[in-house]
Amino acid sequence: MNVPPIAPAEEIRKAYRNLSKKYHPDVYQGDKNVAEDKMKELVEAFNNLSDNNKRKAYDKQPQFQVRKFSKTRKPPDKKAFTEKHKKPKESFLKKLLAPFMKKPEAGAVGPDPRQADVHFTLGLSMSDNESFLDQAKKEFGLSVKFDPKHKEAAYNFALMCYKLGQWDEARVAFQSFLKIGAEDAAAKKMIQLLHNVGD
């Protein structure tokens, strides 16, 4: 129905009415079979979202759950990162031409497992309340910046995008997550779910 999972009942009813007008077989300009199929999907989705018990059962599926700290989590090797990104000694000519050369991008952050975990914990505490999902998303994003291979933070960042109805950003985030968690069935389900959302 193209509404965020945290959408209130009135927003769901409004989306249902608008989509019913668009896909009703008596009004739809295209193939009537397509209209009938869309209306069946729409009615089923509306019934599930309108029934609190069905909605709770749907929301309890594993792919919609915020991930906690993994027992197998290995923080990044800070020393290896520092060695890899050490500034090379600059020549006299480079120093002389520095004011005319393009500056490196600001805001580059290296692995810092402690900072990653601090932001991850903040994100977890905020993700329980729908009013703070945007802040939770920011905290999970910061956690990933401090540790790009923090799987739980990357998954939770993508999940917050989904819950906030930011479909395109959620798609990209889940695809990025799969690069570090390639065999994750929940992320694959989320990408499949997001495939037709927002169209």
To which residue do tokens 């919609």 refer? 64
What average pLDDT score do residues 38-43 get?
87
Q: What is the pLDDT, as a whole number, of residue 83?
A: 52
DSSP symbols for 159-177:
HHHHHTT-HHHHHHHHHHH
- What's the distance, CA 199 to chain centroid? 18
Q: What is the pLDDT, as a whole number, of residue 155?
A: 96
Q: What is the pLDDT, as a whole number, of residue 7?
A: 78
pTM across the whole model? 0.71
Percent of the chain with pLDDT over 70: 79
Q: In this predicted structure, which of 71-80, 138-147, 166-175 has the lowest mean pLDDT?
A: 71-80
pLDDT reading at 31 higher than 70? yes
Contact (CB, 8 A) for 106 and 116: no
Q: What is the pLDDT, as a whole number, of residue 77?
A: 58
Contact (CB, 8 A) for 179 and 148: no
Distances (CA, A) of 195 to 7, 138, 155: 20, 24, 17
Look at residues 161, 171, 113 and name the one whose alpha carbon lies nearest to residue 136: 161
Q: What is the pLDDT, as a whole number, of residue 103?
A: 47
Q: What is the pLDDT, as a whole number, of residue 6?
A: 75
Q: What is the pLDDT, as a whole number, of residue 97?
A: 58
To which residue do tokens 């802040």 refer? 135
Q: What is the pLDDT, as a whole number, of residue 135?
A: 96
Give the three-state DSSP class for 151: helix
Average per-residue pLDDT in the chain? 82
The pLDDT-based confidence of 157 (bands split at 50, 70, 90) is: very high
How far apart (Å, rounded) are the C-alpha atoms in residues 127 and 117?
15
Q: In this predicted structure, which of 39-48, 123-132, 163-172 has the lowest mean pLDDT?
A: 39-48
Q: Tokens at residue 94, please?
A: 């480079």
pLDDT reading at 199 higher than 60? no
How far apart (Å, rounded) are the C-alpha atoms in residues 69 and 183?
18
How far apart (Å, rounded) are the C-alpha atoms in residues 154 and 186?
13
- Condensed to tens digits (0 to 9), the pLDDT of residues 80-138 reads 545 544 555 555 655 665 665 444 444 555 578 889 999 999 999 999 999 999 999 99
